[in-house]
Amino acid sequence: MSDQVLNQVLIAIIAIIVAPFIGGLLAGIDRKLTARLQGRYGPPILQPFYDFFKLLGKSKIATTRTQFIWLISYLVFMITCLVFLVLQQDLLLLVFLLGFAGISFVLAGFSTKSPYSHFGANRELMQILSYEPILLLFALAVYAQNGSFMISTIMENSTPLLASLWPVFIAVLVALTIKMRKSPFDIATSHHGHQELVKGIMTEISGPYYALVTLTEWYELVLVLGLIALFWSNPLWVGILIALAAFILELLIDNINARLTGGLMVRICWAAALVLCVLNILYIYFMRGVA
Amino acid sequence: MDIQGWMLAVAILLPVVAAILVFLIRQYQLRGLIVILTAVALIVNSIYFLKVGLPTEYTPENPIWGTIITVLDYAMLLFYIYAGLSLKNWLVLIFALTQIIPLAWWEFGLGASHALEEIKPAFLIDNLAVLMVLVISIIGSLICVYAIRYMYDHEEHKHLEKSRQSRFLFWLVLFLGAMNGLVLADNLMWLYFFWEVTTLCCFQLIAHDLTKEAINNGARALWMNSIGGTAMVAAMIYLYYTNGGNIEYLTLSNIIASGGTEAFLLLPVALMCFTGMIKAAQMPFQTWLLGAMVAPTPVSALLHSSTMVKAGVYLVLRLAPAFNPVLGMMVAVCGAFTFFAASVLAISQTTGKRVLAYSTIANLGLIIACAGLRTELAIAAAMLLIIFHAISKGLLFMCAGTIEHQIWSREIEDMEGLAEKAPLTTFITITGMLSMFLPPFGMLLGKWMALEAVYAVPLAAILFVLASAATMVFWAKWLGRLLQVTPKLGKKIESLSLSYSVPLWSLFVGIFVFGIGIAPLYDRFIRGAVNNVIAVQHAFTEGWQIVLPDAATALSLEKGVGLLGSYPVVALFIVFAVAIVLPLLFVKLKPQELKPVYLCGEQAGDVDTDEWYAEADNVSKLELGGYYYKGAASEEALNTWVYVVAIALLVIMFGIVLGVSL
């Protein structure tokens, strides 16, 4: 028993240490690839790490103390989500936690009396309104398929989820676009300089705390790709390949689309992605009823 | 009189006596003392209920009590008629007549009154009833204590010539007694009586300020709940006659014991369920609760947290075993729809108390949906939601009242930067809001359980999902307005009167204690209460191995066990501490690290100011506003649809029930 617990703790610690490296590396690939797609040479793959350490060394500047608190809780909740994933815990609870991580970031934006920060926070909220139901329905679809909300059950299942949940998979890709802040759904803030001059919630965040947000985004990237890998969990390497393919696909979509308005994003997510999820879930129930 | 008798007397009659004393005494201190003593007695008594062997029943030996109740029944209904006539509100009059005429015809015209005296037992004390008594007595009493000072400030601000605090506290304290009676009653006639007393208290309290709006809204609460009363009278008469003039099914326990198998019971059960849904302000009857917020804030706190609306959900939950699967499903869908619609409507609200009201309606919808689902997990979720919702909402309404007495406004926009003006109140308010949707706290646990339980009804599941996303948005929006501050160091912490701070801090501590102690709470108490509801429903007692509280078991994977889900409470509280409490304590700023916000170089003045050069270089104050999405989520845009769907759902529900029972 205690061996098992120790093992779990070890897995969690390894995940916490390794995830930022993967996330940073993926961010580097993102920048390089995007640059090539745009006909630029692009920074070295390791540039995100250089940026990160440079930001850490900068002096601390703030407009309010509360913002720092919410940024830290953003990071901690995101790490918790990742730990839940690697320890194969409850998927539904993970989605709730992920939702609150997003809310923490929004509250960080609201904590200061800055117009740009508020713009960003309000838009971030619309993003949450768009992707949160998709992820919750993903958890529900997993339940409909497996009879359990535990990620461990997904891992044990030999038939991949993708076979029966491919409409949900498409919907989760939409959520991934929002989570990665990629066009057409980079409503709140974008990684591209050409999209905006003032960077939403990030406007009032600088130096070490900006580094903290970057770190959180890396965790988030690994986490969301991990969720996508669950669609083919046996053997897991197929799932990881699918997740990487999804990542590359997002980069392509990002570069061939322009940003939409927030209202349109909510409508598309609720009308298209949610309907896909709902039909998928109803189909599973229907087939079970027939059987 | 044995021990149960005394305890019931304290729970029900003591508030009545105290209410009369409070009404007679015109001195502020003495009156306050009586309220406080009553509160203490009620709290101690409610905790003592845990010591009695449950379930147990009690019927007062003296038949005089039955007579008193009958007399008071008619007195109340005659008062409603009087109120309808004097206010010229015909709806009040009509729905008073629809109650009094059938009731009098049944009891005296057809001479059923003699038989009705024989109904036994009068009271049934089981875990579910005790759970409700605890919620009512503890949280309700704290709100009464809060009201002592609040009403004093309220009248100071209004410059009233003649104090009406005595009258206010009379109805407030009486309310607690009526609620205790309501949840303990097993005899339907007695249940109906207590039900009407709560309706009356509610009307009097909403109309307390005697403004035109207050009286209108009070009257609306009265006629809407009178529809419910009418449905209950109809249900009782139906139960009596379809069973051949037999009183057998005029107790809740006998109705429940049938387990939804008797076809003729379905219609009265549906009618009483409808009564409960009106009292719980379910769509399309949400307007009475929204209108109730014109009353002084302790009323809202009481109506929303521990009384009135909780009576509605209690009745639905109590009747859950008597649903048949179709009725259960319809109740679940109705509740889920209210949860969804109210959550979306809350996004567009600009008044703090209105957001709270919609959030209450939404959560009541969730609880009712859980009752409709009728699995063990769902019922447990409903009970946890009742407890945690009462704590959090009681706290939030008292916070709203405290804020109102600091800024004299209820508008969210006026609460902008409240963290600067009243840091302590803001701190408690923010904790209360977080406890409504943040992971380690009980509300989220309940919501999580509800979602894990809802799979049986996919339509309800989808509504749940959309609603919980909307919930996050409206809380975050409001939180954002409170948090917004200009760069400034060193805030002055305001002082609160004891009558405010004791109830506030008690509930604040309650959120954490019950949140962390959910495991023992669940094992020792909720499980028993769930069995009260579920025991006769063998078909639904299939096991659910949900790892609830223990962090160790949740973190160590038990492979191969059919685990539905897991919620590591302790681990989540540790996460909460690391994520929010520690940064709150240890993140510090030096003055030189503080800088003004980015305004494209148009900042005018120093860090402390929030002025900028507007057009033509006029220095003006920076003003930010919240988004309320009036186009997409406002009442004007959505109400038509909400009413159409809600009424359609009710019509379908009764259509099905009639189809089955006729």
Q: Is the pLDDT of residue B543 over 50?
A: no
**What is the DSSP code string of B604-630?**
ES-TT--EEE-GGG-EEE--------H
Measured between CB atoms, which of A72, A113, A274 is closest to B417? A113
Is B472 in contact with A128 (Cβ distance < 8 A)? yes
Residue B334 lies inside a defined structural domain of this protein: no
* Contact of B427 with A66, CB cutoff 8 Å: no
What is the pLDDT averaged over residues B397-423? Answer: 82
Is A140 in contact with B451 (Cβ distance < 8 A)? yes
User: Under 8 Å CB-to-CB from B638, ≥6 apart: which residues?
Assistant: B341, B344, B345
**B124: alpha, beta or left, given left = phi > 0 and alpha = psi -120 to 50?**
beta
Q: What is the pLDDT of residue B531?
A: 63
pLDDT in tens, A164-174: 888 899 999 88
In chain A, where are the structural domains located? 2-290
Show residues of chain B in contact with A100, CB under 8 Å: 437-439, 472
Token pair for B20: 């009369």
How many Cα neighbours within 13 Å face the side chain of B383?
Answer: 30
Q: Is the pLDDT of residue B342 over 90?
A: yes
A14-52 in b/e form (b: 16+ CB < 10 A) is ebeeebbebbbebbbbbbbbbeeeeeeebeebeebbebb
What is the pLDDT averaged over residues B81-91? Answer: 88
Query: Which residues between 253 and 272 in chain A have a beta carbon less than 8 angstroms from any beta carbon of chain B?
Result: 263, 270
Is A110 in contact with B481 (Cβ distance < 8 A)? yes
B539 confidence band (pLDDT: 50, 70, 90): very low
CB atoms < 10 A from the CB of B592, how many? 9
Distance set, CA B437 to CA A234, B235, B579 (Å): 34, 38, 15
Q: Is the pLDDT of residue B554 over 50?
A: no
B460 to chain A, minimum CA–CA distance in Å? 12
Rounded Cα gap, residues B278 and B220, in angstroms? 12
Residues B620, B626, B630, B635: what is their CA dihedral angle, to the nearest 10 degrees? -130
Lowest mean pLDDT among A62-66, A196-200, B27-31, B189-193: A196-200
Rounded Cα gap, residues B201 and B299, in angstroms? 10
Using the Cα atoms of residue A30, residue A104, residue A75 and residue A221 in order, give the sign of their dihedral: negative
* Phi, psi for B572 (deg, rounded to 5): -70, -35
Q: Supply angle C-alpha A94, A97, A101, rounded to 5.
A: 135
CA B377 from centroid of its chain's CA atoms: 21
B536 confidence band (pLDDT: 50, 70, 90): very low
Q: What is the pLDDT of residue A195?
A: 65
User: Under 8 Å CB-to-CB from B471, ≥6 apart: which residues?
Assistant: B343, B346, B359, B362, B436, B437
Is A132 in contact with B575 (Cβ distance < 8 A)? no
Amino acid at B380: A
Q: Is the pLDDT of residue B461 over 70?
A: yes
Residue identified by tokens 């009167």 is: B497
Q: What is the pLDDT of residue A194?
A: 64
User: Under 8 Å CB-to-CB from A207, ≥6 apart: which residues?
Assistant: A55, A56, A58, A59, A60, A61
Token pair for A245: 């393919």
Residues linked to residue B8 through DSSP beta bridges, in sequence order: none
* Contact of B643 with A132, CB cutoff 8 Å: no
Chain A: residue whose CA lies nearest to B416: A113
Q: Is the pLDDT of residue A203 over 90?
A: no
Q: What is the pLDDT of residue B540?
A: 31
Best interface-test mutation with B: which of A64, A91, A270 has the largest number of B CBs within 10 A? Answer: A64
**B596: alpha, beta or left, given left = phi > 0 and alpha = psi -120 to 50?**
beta
Using the Cα atoms of residue A69, residue A75, residue A79 and residue A85 in order, give the sign of their dihedral: positive
Q: What is the pLDDT of residue B657?
A: 86
Best interface-test mutation with B: which of A7, A95, A150 has the largest number of B CBs within 10 A? Answer: A150
Rounded Cα gap, residues B233 and B235, in angstroms? 5
User: Under 8 Å CB-to-CB from B619, ≥6 apart: which residues?
Assistant: B604, B605, B611, B612, B613
A188 inside 8 A of chain B by CB:
no
Chain B: residue whose CA lies nearest to A108: B480
Show residues of chain A in contact with B545, CB under 8 Å: none
Q: What is the pLDDT of residue B541?
A: 31
Measured between CB atoms, which of A63, A96, A150 is closest to B595? A63
Q: Is the pLDDT of residue B231 over 90?
A: yes
The H-or-E segment that residue B401 falls in is helix B376-407
* Residue B198: burial class (beta carbons within 10 Å; 0-12, 13-18, 19+): buried
Residue B36 lies inside a defined structural domain of this protein: yes
Residue B368 lies inside a defined structural domain of this protein: no
Residues linked to residue B612 through DSSP beta bridges, in sequence order: B603, B620
A107 inside 8 A of chain B by CB:
yes
**What is the DSSP code string of B68-124?**
HHHHHHHHHHHHHHHHHHHHT-HHHHHHHHHHHHHHHIIIIIS--HHHHTT---SEE
Q: What is the pLDDT of residue B607?
A: 60
**What is the DSSP code string of A57-78?**
HSPP-BS-HHHHHHHHHHHHHH
Q: What percent of chain B lies above the pLDDT cut of 70?
A: 92
Rounded Cα gap, residues B341 and B361, in angstroms? 9
What is the C-alpha end-to-end distance of chain B, expressed in Å? 45
pLDDT in tens, A112-159: 888 888 888 888 888 888 899 999 999 888 888 887 888 888 888 878
Rounded Cα gap, residues A46 and A49, in angstroms? 6
Chain A: residue whose CA lies nearest to B593: A61
Q: What is the pLDDT of residue B559?
A: 41
What is the C-alpha end-to-end distance of chain A, expressed in Å? 40
Residues in chain B: 662
What is the pLDDT averaged over residues B62-67? Answer: 83
Q: What is the pLDDT of residue B488?
A: 59
Q: Is the pLDDT of residue B562 over 60?
A: no
A1 inside 8 A of chain B by CB:
yes
Is A8 in contact with B557 (Cβ distance < 8 A)? yes
User: Under 8 Å CB-to-CB from B210, ≥6 apart: which residues?
Assistant: none
A212 confidence band (pLDDT: 50, 70, 90): very high
How many Cα neighbours within 13 Å face the side chain of B322?
Answer: 27
CA A99 from centroid of its chain's CA atoms: 10
Q: Mean pLDDT over all residues of chain B?
A: 82
**What is the DSSP code string of A38-52?**
TT-----TTHHHHHH
Q: What is the pLDDT of residue B551?
A: 34
Query: Which residues between 217 and 236 in chain A have a beta carbon less than 8 angstroms from any beta carbon of chain B?
Result: none
Q: Mean pLDDT over all residues of chain A?
A: 87
Rounded Cα gap, residues B417 and A286, in angstroms? 52
Cis amide bond preceding B121, omega within 30? yes
CA B530 from centroid of its chain's CA atoms: 19
Is B597 in contact with A61 (Cβ distance < 8 A)? no
Q: What is the total count of domains within chain B?
A: 1
Lowest mean pLDDT among A44-58, A216-230, B479-493: B479-493
The count of CB pairs under 8 A between chains A and B is: 195
Rounded Cα gap, residues B377 and B542, in angstroms? 10
Measured between CB atoms, which of B451, B470, B559 is closest to A129? B470
Measured between CB atoms, which of B444, B468, B476 is closest to A107? B476
B490 to chain A, minimum CA–CA distance in Å? 11
Rounded Cα gap, residues B511 and B506, in angstroms? 9
SS3 per residue for B10-74: HHHHHHHHHHHHHHHCCCHHHHHHHHHHHHHHHHHHHHHHHHCCCCEEECCCCCHHHHHHHHHHH
* Contact of A56 with A46, CB cutoff 8 Å: no
B576 to chain A, minimum CA–CA distance in Å? 8
CB atoms < 10 A from the CB of A13, how many? 11
* Contact of B209 with B293, CB cutoff 8 Å: no
Q: What is the pLDDT of residue B406?
A: 82
| Stronger pLDDT, A167 or B592, i.e. the higher one | A167
Query: Which residues between 113 and 172 in chain A have a beta carbon less than 8 angstroms from any beta carbon of chain B?
Result: 113-118, 121-122, 125, 128-129, 132-133, 136-137, 140, 143-144, 147-150, 152-153, 156
Rounded Cα gap, residues B511 and B442, in angstroms? 8
Residue identified by tokens 């580097």 is: A28
pLDDT in tens, B205-228: 998 888 888 898 999 999 999 999
> Three-state SS for B260?
coil
The H-or-E segment that residue A117 falls in is helix A115-146
Lowest mean pLDDT among A105-114, B203-212, B598-607: B598-607
Q: What is the pLDDT of residue A103?
A: 92
Task: Residue B159: give the domain boundaries.
Answer: 1-59+129-173
